[in-house]
A and B are shown apart, each in its own frame.
Chain A
Amino acid sequence: MALVAGIAPAWAQTEIRFTLGWKTQGSDAPFLMALSKGYFAEEGLNVTIDQGEGSAATVTRIMGGAYDAGFGDINAIIQNAAQRPGEAPVMVYQLWNRPPFAIVTPKTSGIETPADFAGRTLGGAQGTPTTRLFPVFAELNGIDLASVAQENMAPNLQEPMMIRGDIDGAFVFTITSWFNLIANRQDPANDYNWFQFEDYGMDLYSNGLMVSRALLTDNPEAVAGLVRAVNRATLEIAKDQDAAMEAIMAFDNLVDPELERARLNFALTNLMNAPEVDTIGMGDLVDERLTRSIGIVAKGYGLERLPEASEIFDRSFLPPVEERAFAVEIMN
């Protein structure tokens, strides 16, 4: 389908307030490139992007009305949809097919299997999906939850405390923690064990582009435009990380370009790329798997009702699958 010809005049553009999932990261490239290269503008959208407070906070920010769209966690949508049906935002373009949720432990603590967690201390930030879903992880893997001590701490302190030995492991996001360990002069590949939730029975979906109910109802053309622009940028960054980094630095000149480039590559390789994506194309997901995730989340968060998959994800704005062919080529 041909893109809208030309750029809509300023007065005709729709204002969209967009929130990221955290401080600027390499993995935000799809949105920042769509902004800096004018893809949003071509769709008649005047998008302002703000840094975020967390992938779950994106959902609350949109529900609060201050934002129309954002990059955030589908599991937070599930949680809010259960408690407030009809109010939670809707995912319209799934980006991270594989979840970043993991428990990381230093090899020196001697934890090799989930059973070894018993009697140890793990640290996590309150409210993050990894921390909250641990009970489900424990149940699926035969761990006595009561035997694991959990300590509460700010996300920034997890790696330092783990290095110091104050905790035996931490509930983290792989994409964040991997690089935090490097910044702390650690070797995440060789000195640490990663228990990724997807390997232990929890193949949840994760971050993607979500929009508010209001935008969905009042201005579906804008949603379609958002999706088209983000799709275009996503396919491009898979091949052209240089352009991606340009867009990132244009948005926030404080970040470390090398670090964020590594993080972008990590996201492309470990979170966005998957056999499933080869089949259904970038942006889509499999309903049956989503329904299973809803079950897992409901269990972990103690939700009273199971939302329908259709409440969580709306694929009607996705371009045809031929136009969503995702092929990662990491540049050197």
Chain B
Amino acid sequence: MMRKVFLIGIKDLKIIFRDRAALVFMLLAPFLLTIGMGFVTGRFSGGSTGITDIPVVIVNQDQRELGDALVELLYSADLADLMDPGAADDPAAARQLIDSNGAAAAIVIPEGFTQSIMPADRSLLFGQGSQGEAVPIEVYTNPSSPVSAGIVKAIVDEFISRVEEVRLCTLTSLLQLQAGGVNPQDPRVDLDSLLQSAELSQPASLTLKTNAEGPEAVDFDLLAYFAPGMALMFLMYTVSYGGRSILTERARGTLPRLMVSPAKTAQILAGKVVGIFFTGMAQIGILILASAVFFQVKWGDPLGIMVLILAAVFGAAGWGMLITAIARTPAQVGSIGSAMMLIFGILGGSFINLEMMPPFLRTVSKITPNAWGLDGFTTLALGGTAVNLSEPITALLIMGGILFGVSVILFNRRGVMGQ
């Protein structure tokens, strides 16, 4: 049963990779456009990220050294272009502001944050007290601004890791003092100086990667946004090409020949879908590999990438099958497919960050595999894993499922041979 399905799929994959024109569209065009977007956005010249004035709400309930240090960092001159911070007193109000799309993220620094890391009682630094959990900082993100929210989260993560680093340095220093016969609980030992000597209060060391002078970069690469953006846009070309091949085979007589071979109609159609699927997977896989090798783009968790590619290709293939079921000739599929590729590309954020679009268009963009795919790839590029992809993957699978269902109904109504 499945053997014939895969035979047809592999045959289609072989044919498309022998079509030079298709290869230009599938691989060369997205690759070149990615390079172009890299130049436009300054990725290759160390210029701006293109993302500025990220609205962020800070609720500092800690009101002590570390909480203040984080607030200072967010208001620092180094992040002045990137961040547009505002203060709030009530965490619930801050979350509400995010829910109403008033900012990209809220940072809630809870009361006792500093105390949990720099206890007034120094004995807590040792023994059982040192095993206690630090009070966590909450970053409440706006799902409609995944890139901005991701950047805020990355800055806070970086801050926390710096704090943890300093805390470990301090502990090490104190243990060395203890080993040298000095009692760390001796009031003459200046713990604050030790902490400060670890340069925690140097917020300038926290910068975005686009600042070439920043030694501690937040790992967000714009090409990790534009490369999948272009790959997803041209994936729409691939799925329409795959869909068109059904009508081309019908016109050239190979579909009727398949239909009179000992295979069921469902096997033949499934084979064509598998062909589209294989081609889409190969296309995105090659583009990811190429951008990783040539531009050192960090795509993130490999498992997450694999799962996301599968889901994105499934969602996109659903659109390819739908236009094939609607169109009557290969030329019609070509025209509709090209239009869809461009519209979905623009609408799905391949050229313009979705966060810069009006809310209405952001909602409309949810019908595109591009938007969900980009959401997922951005999450991965910002350090997320497969676990964080439940929303885009579910959306893409539902999208593909519905579109395939509608396509099958249309095919059944008109007959595979279009009688």
Q: Verify that A and B bind, or say they do not.
A: no
